Structure 1
Amino acid sequence: MTSDSNVSRQECETCGGPLQADKTGSGYVCVYCGNHYQRQ
């Protein structure tokens, strides 16, 4: 898992997959590889 407080684009930095809001609404998760990013 990675954590990035500066996600400015809606794509995963690892695999380039699209991000969607996680279930808690506090961040994003990549739909392909599952990496998590914190919402700013």
Structure 2
Amino acid sequence: MPFIFILFNILLVYCGFSCVVTFLGSFLSDFTLLYKKSWELN
């Protein structure tokens, strides 16, 4: 039983980490896109 609990915790941490990475990646791409647009306007 404890083994399943540990496995679940690892899975949860991994999913959370990938979610954060995906969120940061999309945020950074949006930010660079906005930066390029503002740079082109000026």
Q: What is the TM-score of this pair, normalised by structure 2?
A: 0.14
Q: Which has the larger radius of gyration?
A: 2
**Bigger RCO (CA 8 Å, 6+ sep):** 1
Q: Which has the higher strand share?
A: 1
